[in-house]
Amino acid sequence: MKTPAEGNEARQSTLKPYQIYLVANGDLRLAANQKCWSEQAKMEATLTRALQAEGWRVVRAHRYDAAKRHGFIDSQKMGLEVFRRLDPQAPLIVAESVWQYSQHILPGLFSHRGPILTVANWSGTWPGLVGMLNLNGSLTKMNVPYSTIWSEDFSDRFFTSGLRQWLKKGIITHDQSHVRELASLKVPPADEQLGRGAARKLKEQKALLGIFDEGCMGMHNAIIPDELLNPTGVFKERLSQSSLYAAVREVADHEAQAVYQWLRKRGMRFVLGRNEAADLTEHQILEQCKMYIVAVRLADEFGCSAIGIQYQQGLKDLTPASDLVEGLLNNVDRPPVKHAGTGRLLFKGEALPHFNEVDECAGLDGLVTYRLWRELGFSPENTLHDLRWGQHFKGDGVDDYVWVFLISGAVPPAHLIGGYKGSVSERQPAMYFRLGGGTLKGISRPGSIVWSRIFIMGGKLHCDLGLGKVVELPLEETERRWRETTPQWPIMHAVLPGITRDQMMARHKSNHIQVVYAPDEKQANRACRVKAAMLAELGLDVHLCGNVVLDPPSGETEQSGVSRIRVAKLKGRPLRRARREPVLA
């Protein structure tokens, strides 16, 4: 399926007036590009008509490939070849309706001098919004100026006014009034002291992140340079997925069976079949159980406090998906794993925080959150999700914009309605996971959450923090949202008070968002304040987003138990003021 711009491919060194480049970046995996191409072609056709209505002509920067049956840039090599032909001063649109590997086009965008616009269609069908957010976060990290916008059909007022501004001025300005810099705010002293004390403890004792190969799926934004990470007290233990895979081959079958039976006894369901190419099989599950055992043992061997497994691309042609492993690791109540030699129980009574897709920003965030929530006496299980999509929902006591948070395969069962009994494992989609493997799927339980995202901007670590609530939607609405996205993956119905859809999209610098539950809204506010203080003490520039309460009623921060005792003992400096950085639109 060709696009309306087909035949207008870039062959010239300079564009004519009122011509604009269009780039479509894609996946590295051929099956994904082929399956998603029809949706991309429809999106490009609609976007092309919107540009034509403004008097502009689209010049597609690369051809549809009939042999591959798609029209995406599908490698960094191809990206370099495409950008060598382009006028570096010309306006350029990156149009996305699918998941894309940012590294394919980052070298070309890095040196492009014309205005850049990232565009996604507001749809959950394929992860186009997720792909655009990853590209935005990567461009922000690289200090490349860009603008960004999104739309359901490219005809709404929000889109057309933004497009016109960009066509005239080369920039789109978005409302980001929901963001407040912590440096200009006053945190209650007890919360500030508790957060700073936890940060000093981390910096003094230090911790290791186990990195099983950096750079999953071209996510440049997910790699923290050592010189930015190390001042927080956290260091990388660089491990290899090859060693992980080799160790999996040595695990005894009876050990894997023990993990599998533990999960079944807890009530977890597995949707099994016999066709390895299309179904989830016991063989795939047992391979995942072996990987789970090895991950715990390697983390213990190397002294890691959290680990991240890349999987894509390194393991995808060797072994089933790692996602089930990751969900189990993030849960305090999980199958026991013993040291292979001594029989010692490893990480007894603790989760082993895992950061999906070896996203190091999520790794630092997850480790900080886990330790602080332990300090606060809260359930420490936390995870990342994709900021996938959303729609307003009215009914059953809900009348809000409800986001679909969805991650590729697993969350801790403690986050799900019914825990293990509410969890089901289904086969991963074949176009992403050729060798299958089970997910850890369920519906996130209603409750108060704290969300966050660590990112790099202006050469510094930053963190956005906010509050949210998870709502329970009717089952038929949940099923519809699953059908609109990826039904094999766990879902969270999230409401973000004080933040509109467009504010969130304009500000967020990643495809991922970190979430953790709090006992109630009051404690979520307190925990958010304490975490903000902790991150500031670690050296991050912290920003509070949406309705975070800074001035609780008198006595609200007076907590009984360990936390109050620790606050009484802590002394320290006031929060240092973070340097203000420009917000890229």
CATH number of the domain to which 453 belongs: 3.20.14.10
> For the whole prediction, is pTM greater than 0.75?
yes
Q: Phi and psi at residue 454, in whole multiples of 5°? A: -90, 135
User: Percent of the chain having pLDDT more than 90?
Assistant: 90
| Residue 583 included in any domain | no
Has residue 565 got a pLDDT over 70? Answer: no
Residue 502, classified by CB atoms within 10 Å of its CB into exposed (0-12), middle (13-18) or buried (19+), is middle
| Residue 582 included in any domain | no
- Where does a domain end: 169, 201, 232? 169
One-letter identity of residue 203 = K
| Residue 73 included in any domain | yes
pLDDT per position as a tens digit, 7-54? 556 554 689 999 999 999 999 999 999 999 999 999 999 999 999 999
Q: Phi and psi at residue 447, in whole multiples of 5°? A: 160, 180
State which residues form the domain around 151: 19-169
Q: Name the helix (H) or strand (E) containing 120.
A: strand 116-121
pLDDT per position as a tens digit, 362-406? 999 999 999 999 999 999 999 999 999 999 999 999 999 999 999
| One domain for residues 161 and 233 | no
Q: What is the rounded CA–CA span in Å between residue 9 and residue 249?
A: 49
Residue 455 in contact with residue 221, Cβ under 8 Å?
Answer: yes
Structure tokens at 393: 């929902």
Structure tokens at 488: 């094999």
Task: Give the CA count within 13 Å in the CB-facing half-sphere of 185.
Answer: 20
User: Given this model, what pLDDT does residue 553 score?
Assistant: 72
Residues pairing with 94 in the sheet: 23, 118
pLDDT per position as a tens digit, 160-207? 999 999 999 999 999 999 999 999 999 999 999 999 999 999 999 999
User: Given this model, what pLDDT does residue 410 score?
Assistant: 87
- Where does a domain end: 139, 169, 199? 169
User: Given this model, what pLDDT does residue 504 score?
Assistant: 98
| One domain for residues 262 and 211 | yes
pLDDT per position as a tens digit, 266-307? 999 999 999 999 999 999 999 999 999 999 999 999 999 999
Domain total in the chain? 2
Q: Name the helix (H) or strand (E) containing 137.
A: helix 128-141
Count Cβ atoms below 10 Å from residue 558 Cβ, excluding itself.
12
255-261, Cβ contacts within 8 angstroms, sequence gap of 24 or more: 255/289, 255/290, 255/293, 256/286, 256/287, 256/289, 256/290, 256/293, 257/286, 257/289, 258/335, 259/289, 259/292, 259/293, 259/335, 260/285, 260/286, 260/289
| One domain for residues 369 and 511 | yes
Number of helices and strands in the chain (H, E): 16, 18
Has residue 564 got a pLDDT over 80? Answer: no
pLDDT per position as a tens digit, 527-544? 999 999 999 999 999 999
Instruction: Give the confidence band of 156 by pLDDT, cuts at 50, 70, 90.
Output: very high
| One domain for residues 189 and 74 | no
| Separation in Å, CA 120 to CA 105, 155, 177, 243 | 16, 13, 23, 38
pLDDT per position as a tens digit, 92-104? 999 999 999 999 9
Instruction: Give the confidence band of 559 by pLDDT, cuts at 50, 70, 90.
Output: very low
User: Given this model, what pLDDT does residue 552 score?
Assistant: 77
Residue 360 in contact with residue 229, Cβ under 8 Å?
Answer: yes
| One domain for residues 148 and 218 | no
Has residue 409 got a pLDDT over 50? Answer: yes
Average confidence (pLDDT) over 459-476: 98
| Residue 526 included in any domain | yes
| Residue 3 included in any domain | no
Eight-class DSSP state of 420: G
User: Given this model, what pLDDT does residue 578 score?
Assistant: 35
Instruction: Give the confidence band of 4 by pLDDT, cuts at 50, 70, 90.
Output: low
CATH number of the domain to which 127 belongs: 3.40.50.1070
Average confidence (pLDDT) over 419-437: 96
| Residue 574 included in any domain | no
| Residue 203 included in any domain | yes
| One domain for residues 131 and 254 | no
Residue 469, classified by CB atoms within 10 Å of its CB into exposed (0-12), middle (13-18) or buried (19+), is middle
| Separation in Å, CA 411 to CA 232, 383, 475, 555 | 26, 6, 19, 35
Q: Phi and psi at residue 286, in whole multiples of 5°? A: -65, -35
| Residue 2 included in any domain | no
Has residue 580 got a pLDDT over 80? Answer: no
User: Given this model, what pLDDT does residue 10 score?
Assistant: 53
Structure tokens at 504: 């969130």
- Where does a domain end: 124, 145, 169? 169
Eight-class DSSP state of 458: T
| One domain for residues 106 and 202 | no
Residues 6+ apart with CB under 8 A from 575: 182, 183, 187, 192, 196, 533, 536, 537
Average confidence (pLDDT) over 118-146: 97
User: Given this model, what pLDDT does residue 573 score?
Assistant: 36
| One domain for residues 412 and 287 | yes
| One domain for residues 165 and 206 | no
| One domain for residues 483 and 543 | yes
User: Given this model, what pLDDT does residue 584 score?
Assistant: 41
| One domain for residues 153 and 265 | no
| One domain for residues 162 and 189 | no
